[in-house]
Amino acid sequence: MSGVEQERATGFAQRWREWQADRVSSLADPYGWLALVSLDWLGDQPKAYPGLPGLWWQDDDAAYFDPQGAEARYEGAPVRERLRFELVQSGAGTRVVAGDVEIEVARRGGYLIRVHDPKAPVLAAFRGVPAYEPAEEWVLTGSYEPFDEPRPTTVGAVVEGLTHVYSAPGVVRFRHGGEEHALTAFNGVNGGLSILFTDATSGVTTYAANRSLSVPPPAADGSVVLDFNRAENLPCAFTDFATCPLPPEGNRLPFAVEAGERTPYERA
């Protein structure tokens, strides 16, 4: 390897390690995914849950919280009366703060509540995420082909009987091992794409249900960069209190993607 090539490889590995450090720091958030300690599906009658303030329930349109005089805060203000949460299906949740815990309300088919506790055992035991060593061979170039119109796409979930519906704007095509492969893409952050996939390592060295790959926005000619070194585990790889989506049909790669995050220590 020439000096220039060695310097490039060193820089590539360093950038990946910086990305990995940021990733681990994010997972260690005291109120993040690893802080989950419970998940309950709301019913249509007001109900108290052990250790939580007030009463919780749902109807066809929204979830509700009645503090019943208990101390709780929402969006920085004390909760004095009933709250109504009308949320987007499979979208972001919202949180009520009660003492040291945060109670997340989310819509996943019906409404659910999940408790984030900074004293969660999974969070306390967290020691990073095992991953393959970074390799430039897993940085592939592909092409993005948008659909005429985004397609609503129903996928399964790690929770039996639950489904998610996402908008798929197009597919990403790339070549590996002399063959072309196509992956359905969902909308990502900042104009980028998000790809859920499995491959021949799934259930062997990587988490069985799914991994996720963030793809930067396509270039003007539609080209995209797929850096599988940054393939991530979804929250369900770490906790039983997540409702992660499964990859859409056709997003199973027939070869082993020996790059990115491996099965978490907590699941090994």
Location of structure tokens 């805060």? 73
Distance CA 219, CA 57 (A): 46
**Alpha-carbon dihedral sign for residues 186, 192, 197, 202:** negative
| Residue range 167-195, pLDDT digits in tens | 999 999 999 999 999 999 999 988 999 99
| Of the candidates 68, 92, 91, 51, the residue with the CA atom closest to the CA atom of residue 83 | 68
Amino acid at 93: G
- CA-to-CA separations, 58 to 91, 109, 165, in angstroms, rounded: 17, 12, 20
Q: State the DSSP H helix or E strand holding residue 4, giving kind and residue range, or none if neither.
A: helix 3-27
| Residue range 239-265, pLDDT digits in tens | 999 999 999 999 999 999 999 999 999
Q: Pull the structure tokens for residue 70.
A: 């208990």
| Of the candidates 178, 198, 171, 196, the residue with the CA atom closest to the CA atom of residue 256 | 198
Determine the average pLDDT of the residues in 114-128. Answer: 94
Give me the DSSP letters along 16-33: HHHHHHHHHHHHT-TTSG
Mean pLDDT of the chain: 94
Q: To the nearest whole percent, how much of the chain has pLDDT over 90? A: 87
| Residue range 194-209, pLDDT digits in tens | 999 999 999 999 999 9
